[in-house]
């Protein structure tokens, strides 16, 4: 019976991973297809990768996407971390109220956020372009940073900040030297999450980008809806992005495992010397 349950668990896990990753495998395979048709295999070819490098529209969209993602993640990380520290220092009632308000943009539909920001920019006479797109991405990234940092603030010893002040630190110095190092894992998580969500976003970008500015998501949407010849180049671009992200994840996980082993070794050495 235990063997049957174990086999069922393994089969279930295999089906889930197959469902998640088989489309990506198919996409990568099609990126090397000589034929422009998805239904016909025309042989192995790198022509879509060559065409991708020569395509100025995709190249410009990639530059815009990476710039907006990096800038919005950096700004949202700074603002969100400061906001989380401020919220954590509030009394219970206003802290609960502000925290619940922070959840609203996260649970809200993207189309509502996108239309709301579009109307706001029109009301404030902010021209649509990189500035409006950057402001929109910063706006929806900040709540994710706050929600990533808050748990680390709750885990932190609340007397550490006060002890730093008693030892002569200024309030800002205590935050930089004591609080920030303690909550750094949450800050990094929030920054990575903000960067990823910014790259992935389509709906909010669609309503706030304006004419002449495109991101990868809007270029892919145009390629799919209008049936342009960019589909195969989009396959190549997606394959490159997947491989790059996979390599980064492997490097980060290997580094994290190495750091964990070093901490365990240091802890054992300290225990031995005691």
Cα distance between residue 135 and residue 137, in whole Å: 6
Residue 274 has pLDDT above 80, yes or no: no
Residue 114 has pLDDT above 80, yes or no: yes
pLDDT score, position 145: 93
Residues 6+ apart with CB under 8 A from 266: none
pLDDT band at 70 (very low <50, low <70, confident <90, very high): very high
Tens digits of residue pLDDT in 7-56: 788 888 888 888 888 888 888 888 888 877 777 777 788 888 888 888 88
- The answer to whether 142 touches 79, Cβ cutoff 8 Å, is yes
Note the CATH number of domain 56-240. 1.10.3720.10
Residue 267 has pLDDT above 80, yes or no: no
Query: CA 166 → CA 88, 155, 169, 215, distances in Å?
Result: 20, 21, 7, 50
Residues 6+ apart with CB under 8 A from 2: none
Q: What is the SS3 assignment for 200?
A: helix
pLDDT score, position 53: 81
Task: Kindly state the DSSP code that residue 197 receives in the 8-state scheme.
Answer: H
Question: In the Cβ-directed half-sphere of 246, how many Cα atoms lie within 13 Å?
Answer: 8
Tens digits of residue pLDDT in 148-175: 899 888 888 777 877 887 777 788 888 8
Tens digits of residue pLDDT in 220-265: 887 777 665 677 788 888 888 888 778 877 876 776 677 677 777 7
pLDDT band at 184 (very low <50, low <70, confident <90, very high): confident
pLDDT score, position 273: 66
- The answer to whether 217 touches 208, Cβ cutoff 8 Å, is no
Structure token pair of residue 254: 């290997």
Give the count of beta carbons closer than 10 Å to the beta carbon of residue 192: 15
pLDDT band at 110 (very low <50, low <70, confident <90, very high): confident
Cα distance between residue 243 and residue 241, in whole Å: 6
pTM value > 0.85: no
Query: CA 101 → CA 105, 147, 148, 270, distances in Å?
Result: 8, 11, 15, 45
Q: Find tokens 């998640």 and name the residue.
A: 20
pLDDT score, position 259: 64
Structure token pair of residue 84: 């989380």
What is the share, in percent, of the chain residues with pLDDT greater than 70? 93
pLDDT score, position 256: 67
pLDDT score, position 229: 63
Tens digits of residue pLDDT in 188-213: 888 888 888 898 888 899 899 878 78
Radius of gyration of the chain (CA): 24
């Amino acid at each position: 019976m235990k063997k049957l349950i174990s086999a069922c668990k393994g089969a279930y896990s295999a089906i889930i991973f197959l469902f998640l990753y088989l489309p990506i495998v198919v996409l990568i395979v099609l990126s090397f297809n000589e034929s422009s048709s998805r239904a016909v295999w025309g042989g192995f070819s790198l022509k879509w990768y060559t065409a991708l490098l020569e395509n100025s529209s995709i190249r410009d969209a990639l530059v815009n996407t990476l710039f907006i993602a990096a800038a919005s993640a950096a700004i949202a990380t700074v603002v969100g971390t400061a906001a989380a520290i401020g919220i954590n220092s509030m009394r219970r009632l206003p802290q609960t109220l502000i925290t619940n308000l922070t959840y609203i943009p996260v649970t809200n539909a993207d189309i509502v956020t996108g239309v709301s920001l579009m109307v706001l920019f029109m009301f404030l006479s902010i021209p649509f372009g990189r500035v409006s797109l950057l402001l929109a991405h910063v706006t929806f990234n900040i709540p994710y940073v706050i929600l990533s940092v808050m748990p680390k603030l709750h885990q932190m010893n609340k007397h550490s900040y006060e002890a730093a002040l008693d030892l002569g630190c200024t309030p800002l110095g205590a935050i930089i030297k004591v609080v920030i190092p303690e909550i750094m894992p949450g800050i990094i998580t929030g920054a990575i999450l903000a960067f990823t969500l910014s790259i992935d976003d389509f709906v909010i970008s669609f309503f706030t980008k304006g004419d002449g500015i495109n991101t990868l998501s809007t270029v892919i949407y145009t390629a799919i809806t209008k049936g342009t010849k960019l589909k195969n180049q989009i396959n190549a671009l997606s394959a490159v992005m997947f491989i790059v992200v996979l390599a980064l994840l492997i490097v980060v996980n290997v580094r994290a495992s190495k750091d964990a082993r070093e901490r365990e070794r240091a802890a054992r050495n300290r225990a031995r010397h005691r």
